[in-house]
Amino acid sequence: MKNLDKYFSEFLGTLILLLSIVGSGMMGQSMTENEAVILLANSLAIGFTLVFLIITFGKKSGAHFNPAVTLVMLLLRKIKTQIASIYVLMQIMGACTGVIIANIIFGFDAVELSTKYRNGSNILISEIIATFGLLMIILLNLKNKIEVVAGLVGLYIGAAIWFMSSTAFANPAVSIARTLTNTFTGIHYSNIIYFIIAQLIGAYLCMNVLKLTLIHI
């Protein structure tokens, strides 16, 4: 299949990202009940993981690992519709697989639906802002070296986990997959549609704000 390397890169990269997100939360929970310490471990693991994933897969697929990023790249005509569609599918499949693997290796059932509610207008606004920030960093650094983008994205998400009330999911595939674990990083399935809408709004707003301010993207 043409572009198989790109599709597999998106699948594997998103898988590893969710393994890091969920697995680091589980490891933190197994070591302490202090949620601040768990969140610190979680944010560091996610930030570091994003850096090495983007550097590793950036030249293969663009290292989207995020349907919101793929959608914006499609709207900017930097990626074709067919490729974008398969990217999104691979991202969601990879994300769910990553969570299932994390559940298994930490001794949980392969799928445990989360009972953790994350709702409220403040959290949805947080997701809009978090996704806006992520896309801003990506779009304003498209011409930069992949190592620079990787570092900036890792630093941003690692920090945003702390200053966003939603803990900065900023990724529809991440949101969907995290319904499959009833641990620290889980989210109840009833909250997902609102998270995804907020994330897509944030991404779309970012793209258009940059266009309106005549910033070349």
Domain membership of residue 171 (yes or no) is yes
Domain membership of residue 181 (yes or no) is yes
Write out pLDDT tens, residues 14-69. 999 999 999 999 999 999 999 999 999 999 999 999 999 999 999 999 999 999 99
Find the mean pLDDT for residues 160-188. Answer: 98
Domain membership of residue 109 (yes or no) is yes
Mean pLDDT taken over the chain: 96
Q: In CATH, what number is assigned to the domain containing residue 109?
A: 1.20.1080.10
Domain membership of residue 217 (yes or no) is no
Write out pLDDT tens, residues 112-125. 999 999 999 999 99
Residues sharing a CB contact under 8 Å with residue 155, sequence separation 6 or more, in sequence order: 47
Are the CB atoms for 195 and 187 separated by under 8 Å? yes
Domain membership of residue 119 (yes or no) is yes
Cα-only R_g, the chain: 16
pTM of the model: 0.96
Domain that holds residue 133: 4-212
Are the CB atoms for 104 and 174 separated by under 8 Å? no
Residue 216 has pLDDT above 70, yes or no: no
What is the sign, positive or negative, of the torsion defined by CA atoms of 31, 33, 39, 42? positive
Number of domains in the chain: 1
